[in-house]
Structure formats: structure tokens, C-alpha cells
């Protein structure tokens, strides 16, 4: 599949360019993303955590377990979609990614999206959401699709809360599930 080859090339290029040497130095490995390189839906989280850093795969810890549950509820498998993060190395001690780290990885994320060419980008949390929607107010805007355009590419962005934020908050958990199921319907109809 050509897309996967292009993603593998991009993966190698990020390692060679080393846009964030401080993060790269203390991380186990770059976490590029996983799933269907030809997917209609791309999920974008913040940055790898401890489990992701160890396994080299996105969303494989507690937040990933919740993401898997929501995918299953929407009748989707991880292999149907593509999952990645804006920042591709684990920040030390799971701190929030810094603005300069997000900025350094942003051009690579755009190239990744350009290769996959999805219909819908679903952002998980404000770090990736605010990069696509600069005036994002997650409490007001969660679950609301917005059309965005980069060059000649146009797609829908649906900003959702981060699954980790909803893990221990019952109200937010249900909001995220509701948003997720709605986003799945939108993604199937565009």
C-alpha cells in the first residue's frame, strides 16, 4: 500500500530531521501512529505517555483502553482508523507538550494527514484541537464539526475532549461517548 510506504518514509525523515532533540533524547522511541494508512478518520491526541513510549504505539494505556471502548461502541476497529499524536516523542514525566514542541511537529503532522487524506480529523484534547481550530473553546466547541482547509485539502475537524480527562469524571465521560458516537455518524456520512 503506497500510503503506508509514504508514512514509513516520513517516519524516517522525522528521525533524521530530529525536530525536537531534547524530547528525542529522553524518549525510548518515536511514536509515529498506527492503523489504516488509507483511513477516512484520523484521531490526533497530544503526545505518547509511558506505555506508548515503551510499545511504540499510540493510545495503548488507560486512555487508549477507553478509546478502544468508544471505537467498539461506534462499531469501528482500530484497524479501520488511523491514530496518532501531534507530538511524537513522550514528554518527560508525562508533562503537557510545550508550545515549541507542538510547533516543531506540526508540519510533519500535516504531511501525515496529507498522505492519509482522511475525510474527518478527530482531535482528542485541546493540544491538538487548538492547532486546527485556533479559537477553540473546548467546553463550548466539543463535538462540533468545523471545515478546515490547508492548501487544496479540505476536511472536517471534530474536536473532542481527551479520553484521559474523561476517565475519572462520569459527566465528561458520557459527554465524550455521546460526542464520539455523533462524530462516527458524521464521518460515515461525509
Q: How many residues does the chain have?
A: 190
Instruction: Pick between residue 98 and residue 188 the one whose CB is nearest to ligand URA.
Output: 98
Q: Between residue 61 and residue 90, which ones bind ligand URA under the rule CB under 6 A?
A: 61, 63, 85
Burial 94-126 (b: 16+ CB within 10 A, else e): eeebeeebbebbbebbebbbebbebbbbbbbbb
Q: Between residue 94 and residue 133, which ones bind ligand URA under the rule CB under 6 A?
A: none
Instruction: Pick between residue 15 and residue 62 the one whose CB is nearest to ligand URA.
Output: 62
* Residue 33 sits in the site that holds ligand URA (CB under 6 A): no
* Residue 45 sits in the site that holds ligand URA (CB under 6 A): yes
Looking at residue 142, the DSSP 8-state letter turns out to be: T
Query: Residue 177 to residues 63, 72, 115, 142, 182: CA-CA distances in angstroms?
Result: 13, 11, 28, 12, 9
Least Å distance, CB 15 to ligand URA, is 18
Distance from C-alpha of 17 to C-alpha of 128, rounded to nearest angstrom: 22
Position among 27, 30, 43, 52 found at the interface with ligand URA (CB under 6 A): 52
Report the interface residues with ligand URA, using CB under 6 A: 45-49, 52, 58-59, 61, 63, 85, 164
Amino acid at each position: 500500500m503506497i500510503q503506508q510506504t509514504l508514512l514509513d518514509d516520513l517516519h524516517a525523515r522525522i528521525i533524521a530531521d530530529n525536530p525536537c532533540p531534547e524530547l528525542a533524547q529522553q524518549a525510548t522511541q518515536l511514536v509515529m501512529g498506527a492503523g489504516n494508512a488509507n483511513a477516512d478518520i484520523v484521531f490526533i491526541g497530544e503526545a505518547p505517555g509511558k506505555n506508548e513510549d515503551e510499545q511504540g504505539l499510540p493510545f495503548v494505556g488507560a486512555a487508549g483502553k477507553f478509546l478502544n471502548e468508544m471505537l467498539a461502541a461506534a462499531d469501528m476497529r482500530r484497524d479501520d482508523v488511523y491514530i496518532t499524536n501531534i507530538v511524537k516523542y513522550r514528554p518527560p514525566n508525562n508533562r503537557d507538550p510545550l508550545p515549541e514542541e507542538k510547533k516543531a511537529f506540526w508540519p510533519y503532522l500535516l504531511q501525515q494527514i496529507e498522505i492519509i487524506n482522511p475525510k474527518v480529523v478527530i482531535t482528542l484534547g485541546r493540544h491538538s484541537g487548538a492547532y486546527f481550530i485556533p479559537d477553540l473553546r473546548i467546553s463550548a466547541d466539543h463535538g462540533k464539526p468545523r471545515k478546515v482547509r490547508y492548501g487544496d485539502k479540505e476536511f472536517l475537524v471534530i474536536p473532542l475532549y481527551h479520553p484521559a480527562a474523561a476517565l475519572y469524571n462520569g459527566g465528561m465521560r458520557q459527554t465524550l461517548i455521546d460526542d464520539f458516537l455523533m462524530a462516527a455518524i458524521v464521518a460515515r456520512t461525509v
